[in-house]
Amino acid sequence: MRLSAVRLRVADPDRLAAFYGDTLGMSARSQGVSQRVGYTGLDADLVLMPGGGGYSHDRGQRYWKIGVTVPDLDLAVNALRAKGVEVSDPKQFLDIGYLCHLQDPEGFVIEVLQHDFEGNRPDNAASPDAPFADARIGQITLRTGDIAAEDAFCRAQGMRLLSMQDVAQYGFDLHFYAFSEDTPPNADLWSVENREWLWKRPYTTLEFQHLAGAQFAPVPDYRGLEFEGIDTPLADAFGDRVWPA
């Protein structure tokens, strides 16, 4: 089993695929009328489907973002800005990670997250000429008010909980699931020690931002996930579709 894609409905799949290729180093291939973009490896792709164009990011929505993990965030930000992409200043967010944010041309949020915390990055972690050479789609993030229901669904599909992260001062916590037999370095899944380890995984995790009891609106342009290894579509705990790859 593998978390193989997130499906998004967009106004112009070809134009958006070009953005992901030119700015984030992804490759694209046609999939019928859609474009499938991503990195080479075990991580998930983005399936850009036609029919959208009205997306507007809202914190009250179920779908939140994708996260791209990189060895050297500063090099990645410099490369993005050199191409005219507006991106937030990199910062160490609490004890979660060294990160920044941007939006693609249709408004979908992208988080770029360094493998190591600020100050922990090894020398020569990435080449200035190819800052996205070892990038991965590390996270697909959904919001939930009922983590117990999400947990039950993920475990029923064979996913494992790899990390939990307390962000109490902002009123939420984070939960990360993956199709993996990996064992985090610390058996306490709340441990900060597990986080830099998590950002280096070569596959994509399904991340939930959990605000207990909160209600979130569906997003028409979020068309669900793809799981490689299932034969028929499923409905997740929120009622969104999970499709065979």
DSSP letter string, 60-94: TBSEEEEEEEES-HHHHHHHHHHTT--BPPPEEET
Given CA atoms 153, 159, 163, 167 in this order, what sign does their dihedral have?
negative
What pLDDT is recorded for position 138? 98
Given CA atoms 113, 115, 117, 123 in this order, what sign does their dihedral have?
negative
What pLDDT is recorded for position 50? 98
What pLDDT is recorded for position 60? 97
pTM higher than 0.85: yes
DSSP letter string, 129-154: TBTTTT-EEEEEEEEES-HHHHHHHH
Phi, psi (5° rounding) for residue 226?
-115, 130
Q: Give, rounded to a whole angstrom, the gap between the first and last alpha carbons of the chain.
A: 10
What pLDDT is recorded for position 125? 97
What does the block give as tokens for 123?
């020398």
Q: Coil, helix or strand for 43?
A: coil
What does the block give as tokens for 199?
């950002």
Three-state DSSP string of 166-225: EEHHHCEEEEEEECCCCCCCCCCCCCCHHHHHHHCCCCCEEEEEECCCCCCECCCCEEEE
What pLDDT is recorded for position 205? 98
Low-confidence ranges of the chain (pLDDT < 50): none
**CATH number for the domain running over 2-244:** 3.10.180.10
- Percentage, residues of the chain above pLDDT 70: 100
The answer to whether 242 touches 236, Cβ cutoff 8 Å, is yes
What pLDDT is recorded for position 207? 98
